[in-house]
Structure 1
């Protein structure tokens, strides 16, 4: 399968597959965020998810895929540091703001930084139409932030702090998107990067939350483990899809298209988490999605 993936790089078929993978990542990433924000504490939920996907990835990394080339170890070290910062900020954000409030800001601020990073690192340049699409997306994001600051009642005392953390988390989203795209392109077999990434990345959160995890009662541990296992499966397809999309096609376009996840997030927050979503919020989220679509169509 690796050779088939490699044969698609730089082709129209590769572009089409990258488009489909980015859309799949959008849907699954919204679900992943809801799993972390659900009934369990975000720190504990993320620890369970990460621990599960590390355990599942380990046999594939150690016994199935080719071992990483020597230069990949330094790249993996950088990736772990970046993702550790991202997870810390994400958990802080979700613990201070409603999911439908902070999630769009996290996912929406990332594309601007990702596009700039792809320009500097991969020499990818947006045309005028794509910049218009990105401006549309950002207009929806900042309009949503302004609306929430004015109207949201739940946890209002921490809302401003949550939005600030969400912007910082979005910066880390862009950083890991660009860096991981560099990493998956630096090894011959993309599945080597994916397997080792998941195995190594899954260690951080369970380690820092080890005392809390050990203190869980059986009645608490079982549902948390089930959520972690489901989240791990979602993570494999969500993060794996976007990483493979950045290997096959342009990083900036894939990063922007993924942010249609805000629409899926609104539906999940409303239908699953029971959070109230107004028509104005839905309209602004649709504007975000429209901006991502314009970027793709004008590309």
Structure 2
């Protein structure tokens, strides 16, 4: 059986990297020959997770067709979020928890997507369905990914299945998921030593809405006021990214992980910015859009924009 690569989206977060490792291990137990790789370097939070569980970081690849003919995708399906040469390989498996968009294949494939808070929750279910024992290290990655994607189970994307998965996986990993989760989130929320350009690219995804190319980035912090003191830096970096990549609009969501509130900064032409205000029913105040209770890009930020545009 020919080797396949397993990977998550570009600018990978904890879920994308963890799920690739989890799913690759599962598929290897089922008889496939796979290797988990990543489409980018790990962020601070993911580095904390990998170090905590003594898990080696998957190697970073930029293209895949020069290595393999087939791949498996986790935590994404949209072409613009995947490997740049994804059209030159066969996608045999997808495990996801996002909308399906800009995705098509020339051959049948295995596709599993569920509306849960984290794709690692879906992978957790697959281990049970195939009756594959979850190793302690893999369980730790699952807990970490779910906590990351749901902000310690506080996000509106959180389901009872996510909660069940965290409790069981934490028992296998031998950790107190609440204490560990807070430590993990704080580790990823220190942005003091990163440039604005690095921060707006660390967890960013591209979307096409109404013929416009959107870039939506999210930063998790524990001190929102300190982050907003860098607003001018962020706005400059966003404008430069729009010019370099032909984005029509760039939104940066700065989320306080301790109180579950988000402030959005917007870079783009006035006509599009005005529609963003309409989408959220709020006016920009000094370039900021305050969104109390908003933590999820997937469920609370993207849908209103899609409806408006």
| TM-score band w.r.t. shorter chain | under 0.3
Structure having the higher strand fraction is 2
TM-score, normalization: structure 2? 0.27
Which structure exhibits the higher relative contact order, with contacts defined as CA atoms closer than 8 Å and separated by 6 or more residues? 1
Structure having the higher helix fraction is 1
